[in-house]
Amino acid sequence: MPYENSPLLPQNESTIITLEYGLKTKPETSIYDRFTPARKRMILTLVSLAGMIPLFVIGSFVPCIPQISRDLHTTGSVVNLAVSFYMVSGAIGNLTWSTYAGFYGRRPIYLIVLPIFAAGSVGAAFARSASELIIFRVVQAFGGGGGMSVGAGVISDIYGVEQRGAAMGIFFAASLMGPSLAPIVGGLAARYASWRVLQFALGLCGASLFAAVLLLLPETSWPRTRGIDKFHEAGEPIDTWRTWLRNPFMHISIFRSPNVLAVCLAGAFTLSANFALLIPLSYTIGARYNIKNEVLIGALLLPGGLGSALGAPLAGRLSDRTLVGWREKRNGRRVPEDRLRAALPGALILVPVSVLLSGVFTRYVEGTTGLLLNMACLFVSGIGADVVLTPIAAYNLDILHRRSAEAYAVTSALRHCITALATASFLPLINGVGVLATNAIAATVAWIGFVLLCIAIRYGERMRAWVDVGYSIESEY
How many Cβ atoms sit within 10 Å of the Cβ of residue 19? 11
The pLDDT of residue 235: 60
The single-letter code of the amino acid at 190 is A
Alpha carbon distance 282, 266 (integer Å): 27
Which pLDDT band, with edges at 50, 70 and 90, does 236 fall under? Answer: low
Of 23-32, 100-109, 124-133, the least confident: 23-32
Lowest-confidence region among 46-50, 80-84, 110-114: 80-84
Per residue in 362-372, pLDDT (tens digit) is 989 988 899 99
* Confidence at residue 343, expressed as pLDDT on a 0 to 100 scale: 93
Per-residue pLDDT tens for 190-199?
A: 777 788 888 8
Range 251-269 average pLDDT: 90
- The CA distance from 114 to 144, in Å, is 7
Contacts of 9 (CB under 8 A, 6+ apart): 17, 31, 222
| Position 26 confidence tier, pLDDT thresholds 50, 70, 90 | very low
**How many C-beta atoms lie closer than 10 Å to residue 462's C-beta?**
10
- Please write the tens of the pLDDT for every residue from 124-142: 889 888 888 889 989 998 9
Under 8 Å between Cβ of 476 and 8: yes
**pTM, entire model:** 0.70
Q: What is the pLDDT of residue 18?
A: 40
pLDDT in tens, 385-409: 889 988 998 888 788 877 766 777 7
* pLDDT for residue 231: 66
Predicted pLDDT of residue 340: 92
Alpha carbon distance, N-terminus to C-terminus of the chain: 11
**Secondary structure of the chain in the HEC alphabet?**
CCCCCCCCCCHHHHHHHHHHHCCCCCCCCCHHHHCCHHHHHHHHHHHHHHHHHHHHHHHHHHHHHHHHHHHCCCCHHHHHHHHHHHHHHHHHHHHHHHHHHHHHCHHHHHHHHHHHHHHHHHHHHCCCCHHHHHHHHHHHHHHHCHHHHHHHHHHHHHCCHHHHHHHHHHHHHHHCHHHHHHHHHHHHHHHHCCHHHHHHHHHHHHHHHHHHHHHHCCCCCCCCCCHHHHHHHHCCCCCCHHHHCCCCCHHHHHHHCHHHHHHHHHHHHHHHHHHHHHCCHHHCHHHHCCCCCHHHHHHHHHHHHHHHHHHHHHHHHHHHHHHHHHHHHCCCCCCHHHHHHHHHHHHHHHHHHHHHHHHHHHHHCCHHHHHHHHHHHHHHHHHHHHHHHHHHHHHHHHHCHHHHHHHHHHHHHHHHHHHHHHHHHHHHHHHHHCHHHHHHHHHHHHHHHHHHHHHHHHHHHHHHCCCCCCCCCHHHC
Determine which of 106-110, 233-237, 378-382, 446-450 has the lowest per-residue pLDDT on average.
233-237
pLDDT 10s digits, 67-86: 888 888 887 767 777 777 88
pLDDT tens, residue by residue, 276-320: 887 777 778 888 888 877 677 767 777 887 787 788 778 878 888
Q: Are 259 and 136 in contact (CB under 8 A)?
A: no
Mean pLDDT, to the nearest integer, of 151-158?
84
Q: Decide if pLDDT at 9 tops 70.
A: no
* Confidence label for 232 from pLDDT (cuts 50, 70 and 90): low
Total number of residues shown for the chain: 477
Q: Mark 394-408 as b/e (b = at least 16 C-beta within 10 Å).
A: bbbbbbbbbbbbbbb
The pLDDT, as a whole number, for residue 276 is 86
Q: Are 255 and 189 in contact (CB under 8 A)?
A: no
Given a cut of 80, is residue 206 above it in pLDDT? yes
Lowest pLDDT segment from 111-120, 294-303, 444-453: 294-303
Distance between CA atoms of 185 and 299, rounded to whole angstroms?
A: 9
Once rounded to an integer, what is the mean pLDDT over residues 63-69? Answer: 79
Domains of the chain (ranges plus CATH)? 34-220+245-476 (1.20.1250.20)
| pLDDT surpasses 60 at 273 | yes
> Cβ distance 384 to 349 under 8 Å?
yes
Residue with more model confidence, 273 or 151 = 273
- Of residues 81 and 425, which shows the higher confidence score? 425
Model pLDDT for residues 410-424, shown as the tens digit of each residue: 887 788 778 878 877
In the prediction, which pLDDT does 311 show? 80
Query: What is the rounded average pLDDT for all residues in the chain?
Result: 80
Share of the chain above pLDDT 70, in %: 84
What distances in angstroms separate CA 74 from CA 70, 104, 257, 305, 454, one per listed residue? 6, 43, 43, 28, 44
